[in-house]
Amino acid sequence: MPDRPSHLWKDLPPDTRQDAALAFWRDESSSDAEVHHAEAIIAIAKRLKFRPKSVQALPEERLARYLAQMGDVSDGVATRALIAYHFQTKRPLMAAFLDALGIAHENGLITEESITPPAGPALTTAIDRLRAAFSEAEVLLYLKTLLVLDGDTWVNLGPLFPTQDAPEASKLG
């Protein structure tokens, strides 16, 4: 189980990483998007041995391709990409999960100021509902994203993931 957003990014299948990278570049609504875009532009420029200004002028599809090819990105860039990916492409999954847990939301965005970490049995039931409607890969990525980005709220997801010592004990794998 990845413990940091950058590790989760590195583990993404190439097509998912490409989709997340494109979502990252299309995300202009968050307050920190500009900062993370600038950070990614500098990293891409260093990798390509280009000037940042030249990279900045590239179309977002090319920027996404270059970013997706980078296994090593900062936690900030990985976090922004994972969030953008889920909000741009996985809202029905997010909404279904929160509905199954009885957590108030607007199209997958939690509206409560603070929530009590859902208990294991409630999470297991919610995950089973997701598995009935979405692919295993989508479900696992979403759950891993929740755990790595907000481990305090989703702390009870951790025991549901396999450990290297006891993969048969997993409720997710």
DSSP codes, the chain: ---SHHHHHHHS-HHHHHHHHHHHHH--SSTTHHHHHHHHHHHHHHHHT--HHHHHTS-HHHHHHHHHH-S---HHHHHHHHHHHHHHH-HHHHHHHHHHHT--EETTEE-SS--PPPPHHHHHHHHHHHHHHS-HHHHHHHHHHHHHH-TTTTGGGGGGS--SS-GGG-S--
- Residue 2: predicted pLDDT: 75
| pLDDT value for 170 | 44
pLDDT, position 172: 52
Tens-digit pLDDT string for the chain (173 aa): 778 999 999 999 999 999 999 999 999 877 888 999 999 999 999 999 999 999 999 999 999 999 999 999 999 999 999 999 999 999 999 999 999 999 999 999 999 989 999 999 999 999 999 999 999 999 999 999 999 999 999 999 989 876 544 444 444 54
pLDDT given for residue 122 in this prediction:
96
The pLDDT assigned to 166 comes to 40
